[in-house]
Amino acid sequence: MILSSTERKIIHNSIRDIQDFPKPGIVFKDITTLLNDAKAYNVLMNHLCQRYKEYNLDYIAGIDARGFIFGAALAQMLGIGFVPIRKKGKLPYTTISEKYSLEYGIDEIEVHLDAFSKIPHAKVLLIDDLIATGGTANAAAKLINQAGAECVEACFIIGLNFLDGQNKLKEITNVYSLIEVN
C-alpha cells in the first residue's frame, strides 16, 4: 500500500522541528503536533492499517515511549496484540534484554520473556516514531527474534537518511519509513 503524496504532505506538515533539543545541533522531530492534529493522525493510522492488514501479523511491538502510541493504536485497528519494548527496569515479569550503543555510553531495552509465546513463530511488526542511528531499533528487532518470534518489518514515521541506521537495520529485517529526511 503506497502512501500518496498528498497524504505524505499532511503527515509531514504536522510534525514540528525543534532546533537544538535536547542539546545543541540536534533537530528534534516533535510528533506531539501530529498526534493533536486529528486529520493527520487519522491519515497516518489509516495508511498503516491498510498497509499492514495484508501482512497477517500476530503482534505489534512498540519501542518505549513514542512507539507505544502508534503501535498500540495500530494493534487495536488490526485486531492483534501489542507488546511494549521498554527501557531497562520498567517491566515487572522475567525479561530478556539487549544493550546498544549511544553517542556516549550504552543503553539497554527489555521485553517480557513470554511476550510472544502464545503464538508459535509469531510474525511481529516493530514500530517507533523515528530511526536515527538505528541502535534502538536494532536491539529491539534482535529481542523480538530472541523471544522466539520473527520481526518481519520495522516501521517508522520518520527516517533520518543522513545517518546510516536504516541500512544497518535492513541487514536483519525489512524497513519502512513513511517520511525520509535528508
* 108 is known as an active-site residue: no
**62 binds ligand AMP, rule: CB under 6 A:** no
* Of 46, 59, 58, nearest in space to 127 by CA: 59
**166 binds ligand AMP, rule: CB under 6 A:** no
The only residue of 97, 133, 145, 161 in contact with ligand AMP, by rule CB under 6 A:
133
What are the residue ranges of helices labelled H in 14-172?
A: 32-35, 38-52, 66-78, 135-146, 165-169
The count of residues interacting with ligand AMP (CB under 6 A) is 17
**130 binds ligand AMP, rule: CB under 6 A:** yes
Among residues 7, 86, 103, 153, which one is catalytic? Answer: 103
Choice between 71 and 165, CB closer to ligand AMP: 165
What x-and-dash track marks residues 16-55 binding ligand AMP by CB under 6 A?
----------xxxx--------------------------
**165 binds ligand AMP, rule: CB under 6 A:** yes
What residues numbered 67-126 form the site for ligand AMP, per CB under 6 A?
Answer: none
Helix, coil or strand: residue 108: strand
The only residue of 60, 78, 115, 136 in contact with ligand AMP, by rule CB under 6 A:
136
The answer to whether the CB of 145 falls within 8 A of the CB of 137 is no
* 103 is known as an active-site residue: yes
Give the side-chain half-sphere CA count within 13 A for 73.
15
Rounded CA-CA distance 27/47 in Å is 26
Among residues 7, 16, 51, 66, which one is catalytic? Answer: 66
* Number of Cβ within a 10 Å radius of residue 35: 17
Rounded CA-CA distance 83/71 in Å is 9
Single-letter residue type at 164:
D
* Of 134, 181, 140, 124, nearest in space to 157 by CA: 181
**129 binds ligand AMP, rule: CB under 6 A:** yes
Positions that interact with ligand AMP (CB under 6 A): 26-29, 63, 66, 128-137, 165
Residues annotated catalytic, as ranges: 66, 103
